[in-house]
Amino acid sequence: MGAGTIDWVQNWETIYDDRLQVMLRDYSIDHWTERAEDYSESRRTNNYEYGEKVFAALAGHGIIGSGSQVLEVGSGPGTFVIPFSKRVKHMTAVEPADGMIHVIHRNAKEAGVENYNIIPKIWQDVDINGIRGTYDLVITSTVIWMFRDIMQQITRMEEATRGHCCVVESVGGGQAFEKTLWHTIMGDNPYPSYPGYPLAYNLLYQSGRIPQVRIINSQSLRTFEKLMKMYRVFYSLYTEFTPKVEETIRSALLADSISGLHERNYQSAVVWWDPKERREIG
């Protein structure tokens, strides 16, 4: 790597380590079970608008279609499993949290989709030899921030596909409401960073991949009760969740409510690449 060149992998690791320095403890699988209902509510907004727009971006460039077999890494409540299953041959979800698995099954039943299966493990524990070259697309959304060994896990995704890989990550530094609430509760403690786009793009490109990008816009609508549950989980990882903290969040949410719902608008980057195509590095 030449003098003055940014080491994007090191940059990624630094953001990961800095976030842990602020936390009392890291996320556990139980935390994701606790968040299953609020996360499902978010992903179901506007009839799975987020997943539908990701599918449209990929289908529009011939990356995915009716004959595709797709693996979703860290599927949560069925972020892509539900909207994709209606249009592909088969979906496989990698999801370790019991609460999320329960919600996937419920959401799938409601949507009338059955062409999916679930691998109930964290991605790092999945035996790649058993799924090597099985899928036409391996995709993940807002999950890779949990991987400090980012390129090792990206490589594992590539080993599982015979076609393309895709990561969908947030564009920008987060919602203004979240940052204001954070500083009200946490004072001068730095707002935690979750590496996404364009950092993910840069490390893929630096490592010789040839990533393609399309930007999508989506909305999330959540009820007061579901958001309160989300914030209880989130802030308990960073500080003692006292009655004062709860009241601070409650007051902020009540002031933010529109007709009883809380609207968030997001911009996300759909980043895909073919692992077989490489550019010359250097």
DSSP 56-113: HHHHTTTS--TT-EEEEES-TTTTTHHHHHTTSSEEEEE---HHHHHHHHHHHHHHT-
Instruction: Return d(Cα 139, Cα 93) in angstroms, integer.
Output: 10
> In one letter, which amino acid is 268?
S
Question: In this model, does residue 2 exceed pLDDT 80?
Answer: no
Nearest 5°: CA angle at 18, between 12 and 19? 95
Dump pLDDT digits (tens) for 80-116.
Answer: 999 999 999 999 999 999 999 999 999 999 999 999 9
- CA 42 from chain center: how many Å? 12
Q: What share of the chain in percent tops pLDDT 90?
A: 85
Residue 259: band (very low, low, confident or very high) from pLDDT cuts 50, 70, 90? confident
In 3D space, the residue among 277, 47, 271, 242 whose CA is nearest the CA of residue 138 turns out to be: 271
Strands 161-170 and 212-223: unpaired
Contact 141, 168 (CB under 8 A): yes
Cα–Cα distance list, 38 to 41, 97, 142, 231 (Å): 5, 14, 16, 10
User: What confidence tens digit (pLDDT) does each residue in 207-232 have?
Assistant: 999 999 999 999 999 999 999 999 99
Q: Which of 192, 161, 178 has its CA nearest to residue 230?
A: 178
- The sign of the CA dihedral 54, 121, 76, 183 is negative
Sketch out the chain's domains with CATH numbers: 8-174+190-221+265-272 (3.40.50.150)
Residues 212 and 272: beta-carbon distance below 8 Å: yes
Question: What is the model's pTM?
Answer: 0.94
- Calculate Rg over the CA atoms of the chain: 19
β-sheet bridge partners, residue 267: 217
* CA 270 to mean position of chain CA atoms: 11
> What is the pLDDT at residue 96?
97
pLDDT for the residue numbered 122: 96
Cα–Cα distance measured from residue 93 to residue 62, given in angstroms and rounded to the nearest whole number: 22
More confident residue, 113 or 196: 113
Q: Which residue has the tokens 């099954």?
A: 105
Residue 92's contacts (CB-CB under 8 Å, 6 or more residues apart) are 69, 70, 71, 72, 116, 117, 118, 119, 131, 135
Give the tens place of pLDDT for each residue, 22-58. Answer: 999 999 999 999 999 999 999 999 999 999 999 999 9
98-111 and 36-43 are packed helices; what angle lies between their axes, rounded to 10 degrees? 40
Average pLDDT, the chain: 93
pLDDT tens sequence across 121-151 = 999 999 999 999 999 999 999 899 999 999 9
Residues 166-194 have a mean pLDDT of 88
